[in-house]
Structure 1
């Protein structure tokens, strides 16, 4: 018997229909040689600290950092999950072969591997890897199943991500909550969420500290066209008025007219982030709204796999594009000009080097007849972007006219579209493409000018003020996460920076939602504001590694390199273990009395000391005292604190002299430590 394990019941139903497993049983389908079951997404999770040792059940500074000798997984505590896992485990025990049909991505691989490990699988495993859920794609996928080992690096990257998040999240949250929070409250800190919050808080401070400055622009009107002074802004009114006086009684003369032809390529296909950005800009949808809707379109078979970070297609998709375009019958009027011609194979669309697991989000060719409301709007957006990618470039003629009045130079620019090309796809009012289509001074149509002509003009001064940076919207925040905090407008550069972005396309929406849930940020119309709790939290975190978008981006880069086999998962985890050890030592060394008040549903499990007298042990020197944290090292006396001889190996024990005194006898130090760490446990 061959057992297929999918991530969702709906996918199991589709695959079962293709395989002929059409008999529905409790928790699975069966028919012929196949049984098909599902996981409901995550059934397993990494163990909680309390699952490893009783010492970690209560939140205690003395127990930090918490680093399990070996990380383990457990079933999520839910009756429905436990029941479905029991069904899967029994089926795995009966199977001769398992086919992993999880979502074809890092998270999907992790979900399935954990379930199979928990079920103690012993039979061979193969992997189904598809980019859409159409019948044709599923059939092709089953013809080319791969050995599970081909995806080991993907699993190792996903596991490293989960363990890294555990190490930093569990330890830093307990550390900062116990050290700085109001009693009983949790300060939630995460490997990705904290740098994201830091971006929002940084923008808050940039706006709060912004001091507007006046400046003046010199313009003149000649033949109903506004010309701008090429000297740019004037910082003082006096300088601006002096320039105005110099030209007021002088004629305006045209000194140069330059015409050149230009081309504008179609906008790139969508990856998940660019789709979320566009939907936020057009309709104000949250990143989570868009992810939910595009996931639904994927499961309804009308678009391809959504959790992607590339805007390119692989070369093997090229021969399929004409077929998809012909099947998009609701758009026959738009596809007719290109469908019967040889389609261009542009490097801006097809590039194998820019595609790893999946290609850009495109329609599958299945009719979207069942779509309504927002799903239909989203499909329409993707369909137009896909069709426009195979239209010719938009060609235009740009004109730059230079003039002079007195000694002051002026310039006016305009643009005339010669052939609309891909812009014809967006010709309708309802379909106006936003990218680069906004009207501005550079796009106006200019009348014909001739060099040497001259005449009267109307100069004027326009007083303006410098403007502060804009608050983030979800769209601009997603772009900032994608580029590790850098503002990047150029598509090519943005593509190159994705390797160092904060988080992954599939997780960024949930990270933003987590910050809302923790009440560190809030919405103000379409804008995102930092709450006082969020501002205070970032102010409290002195460790740059915990809040730096750039450094978090470098961690993401290492995870991608693990996927490619260029970096070791063990090395990544080792680096994070060292990092959290350093952070614990540094925070415990902070003698400030800062406290952050934040309303949260989460609560710290406080230490509850037991009142019991302790007899001082008989010791003659500090070095005789065994470290209660690691159980390996002995106590050392430094300049300002007691510490552990195993500090280089990560032991974070530190007791400041301000806490217990520097002149205690060894016996009293031993008694103090025994009392302190018994209470902490």
Structure 2
């Protein structure tokens, strides 16, 4: 092999694979496959800037420092493989169809199914409030009243009195500290909430920015920097303020306060995501729009994290009328602090005005009532998961049940959570619904059916989160790899030995019928990779990854498959020729002699 030949020529090796658990695993597996015995050192990088690379080569690390990291990666790989291959085959055999089961994937799916069940079971309850418009210039509201008749009686009494007594005026100065620097999950959540990007899109954008030397290493789970990086951050924030024209005239609150971003104990492999100095000289207008937006979020968060707190005065007004208490709240900005940076840098992304209502100055005495009004409301169900909220749930699952001080309390890692969500969507267990900025993640019927037949140990988020914590302990040499793998082996053995098919589950596990086979007349059902004839003797299939449609610049999706099976044809607009020109055509479906699908094109005026 050429690899072996190259290995023989060197006396030692330096490996620069991705600076993380999986990057460590990739090199070690290649090293073993090449049967190499040469000494090797680790090049550990948090930035692709030239000075960072030179610094890395000047301080190469002994490979032994990363043996525990490799052990954790190897345990993760083996655990995923063992759970996946055994559980997938077990449930596929039990229910007579391909079912994908994963150590991380299945608990995440279970979380969405449980959420949808809670929404479906929720019964809204009506409540009523009485609002008083006071002559002092504010509106005070009663408590929530479950019975309409009680609320109506209160309304009548207030309208009769038309005077409220101001009992208390409480003013309290409050503040909101700046948000921390970004780790990957927090960046993905903000990009989804503010821009509508999926977790995978954000990871792709920030990975590209890293490779272009515009940001530091993206797959980090830390929101902090170390003491060694503090001076660098101070200089960077000063340069960023000049770069963005944030001056004392614009934002006098934007004063660097880097100490709160420093916490060596909370920095593991990599510090928080930061822009680089190379970014200051780059042509940012040449970047794709998605990368521009993600970079803007990172720049804004860096400046916000070192700015002053947002300070405001909160006023609580308590009044009494007809024997009932009414309250009004107001806020008045004292110092905008980090919110001034957010407003200036992210104005086009946030697209909203800050709306704070200050209460007028009033004294503790009687106040006239201009109007009294009855309002009806109802309790709200839990909300569907978005990628933002699902990422948060994955990150914090079982935090309440874990011992205090345990750092990794969630499912997956920052580097794998996006891929987990994408895999669930690709396999048809989850689907995205809604507008670009308001997409929700919903379990499909197939996803709900899978969780229905899964035993608790496979779908439990708590167990998976516990495994993640143990992998972190292996990474820190606090747990032996063999102990972890024994636990996985025991769980798999018990699962295979004790799991039986659930009665009535076959009805849940049936594939969706989308049409009739044009070759033999049997049902055509949707599966992971395409639409298949249920007749095992028939070779008819419509592949989702379809070469014919790819040549036209199109996708064979469920709508197109339905039209082809129903009508034998589908009209397509803006197909692309080999020369890049666009045209309209009709795709015709027929069958080969052996039953396989065959496509042809028909144009206006004939074939």
Instruction: Please give the TM-score of this superposition, normalised by the length of structure 1.
Output: 0.70
In 1, the alpha carbon distance for the partners of 2:328 and 2:406 equals: 35
Distance 1:106 1:429 in 2: 34
Distance 1:438 1:187, change over 3 A: farther
2:416 matches 1:507: yes
Distance 1:102 1:509 in 2: 21
Distance across 1 between alignment mates of 2:410 and 2:226: 23
- For the pair 1:122 / 2:37, whether they are aligned, the reply is yes
Q: Deviations over 1:209-256 (max 9, x none)?
A: 222221112221113412122xx3211212222333343322112111
Matched, 1:574 2:501: no
Give the match's secondary structure for 1:577: helix
- Please point out which of 86, 89, 93 is paired with 2:4: 89
Question: Would you say 1:412 and 2:328 are equivalent positions?
Answer: yes
Q: Distance in 1 between matches of 2:400 and 2:361?
A: 38
Describe the shift of the 1:236–1:341 C-alpha distance in structure 2 as closer, same or farther (beyond 3 A).
closer
Alpha-carbon separation, structure 2, partners of 1:327 and 1:238: 63
**Contact 2:104 2:411 survives alignment (8 Å):** yes
Given that residues 194 and 547 in structure 1 are in contact (C-alpha distance below 8 angstroms), is that contact kept between their aligned partners in structure 2?
A: yes
Post-superposition Cα deviations, 1:29-60, rounded to whole Å, max 9, x if no partner, equal xxxxxxxxxxxxxxxxxxxxxxxxxxxxxxxx
Query: How many Å apart are 1:274 and its aligned residue?
Result: 0.7
Contact 2:132 2:369 (8 Å CA) reproduced = no
Contact 2:230 2:259 in 1 (8 A): no
Q: Say if 2:152 is the partner of 1:241.
A: yes
- Residue 341 to residue 216, structure 1, CA distance change in 2 (3 Å): closer
RMSD of aligned residue pairs (Cα, Å): 2.8
CA contact (8 A) 1:217 1:233 kept: yes
Q: Does 1:321 align with 2:233?
A: yes
Match of 1:466 in 2: 379
Quick check: 1:480–1:486 contact (8 Å CA) kept in 2?
Answer: no
Q: Secondary structure at the match of 2:89?
A: helix
Distance 1:486 1:356 in 2: 19
Asked if the contact 1:271/1:308 (under 8 Å) is kept, the reply is yes
Q: Aligned runs of 1:198-213 on 2, under 5 Å? A: 198-213=110-125
Q: 1:137 to 1:513 in 2, by over 3 A?
A: same
Shift in alpha-carbon separation, 1:466–1:135, aligned structure 2, 3 A: same
The residue that corresponds to 2:57 in the other structure is 142
Retained in 2: the 8 A contact 1:173–1:189? yes
- Indicate conservation of the 8 Å contact 1:480/1:487, yes or no: no
1:296: which partner in 2?
208
How far off is 1:602 after superposition? 6.1
**Displacement, 1:190?**
0.3
- Name the SS of the counterpart of 2:229 in structure 1: helix
The C-alpha deviation readout for 1:529-557, integer Å capped at 9, x for no partner, is 1111111110111x211111122111111
Q: 1:484 to 1:335 in 2, by over 3 A?
A: farther
Distance 1:226 1:433 in 2: 32
Mapping for residues 22-421 of structure 1, pairs under 5 Å? 86-181=1-96, 185-223=97-135, 224-229=137-142, 232-250=143-161, 251-328=163-240, 331-334=243-246, 343-347=256-260, 349-366=261-278, 367=280, 368-369=282-283, 370-421=286-337
Change (3 A) 1:438 1:332: closer
Q: Secondary structure at the match of 2:139?
A: strand
| Greater radius of gyration (CA) | 1
Is the contact made by 1:325 and 1:365 (CA closer than 8 Å) also made in structure 2?
A: no
| Offset, 1:339 | 12
Contact 2:234/2:258, CA 8 A, preserved across alignment? no
Match of 2:340 among 410, 420, 424: 424
What SS does the corresponding residue of 1:472 show, helix, strand or coil? coil
Partners of 1:330 and 1:346 lie apart in 2 by 21
Instruction: Point out the more displaced range, 354-363 or 209-218.
Output: 209-218
Distance 1:313 1:373, change over 3 A: same
Indicate how the Cα distance of structure 1 residues 341 and 593 shifts in structure 2: closer, same or farther if over 3 A, else same: closer
Gaps of 5+ in 1: 1-85, 609-681
CA distance in 2, matches of 1:422, 1:204: 37
Post-superposition Cα deviations, 1:337-361, rounded to whole Å, max 9, x if no partner, equal 89999842433x1111111111110
Aligned-partner Cα distance in 2 for 1:210–1:301: 49
Q: What secondary structure sits across from 2:416 in the alignment? A: helix
Aligned to 1:39: none
Aligned equivalents of 1:342, 1:209: Cα separation in 2: 50
SS at match of 2:57: helix
Q: Secondary structure at the match of 1:317?
A: helix
Task: Describe how 1:8-23 pairs up with structure 2 within 5 A.
Answer: none
Contact 2:68 2:476 in 1 (8 A): yes
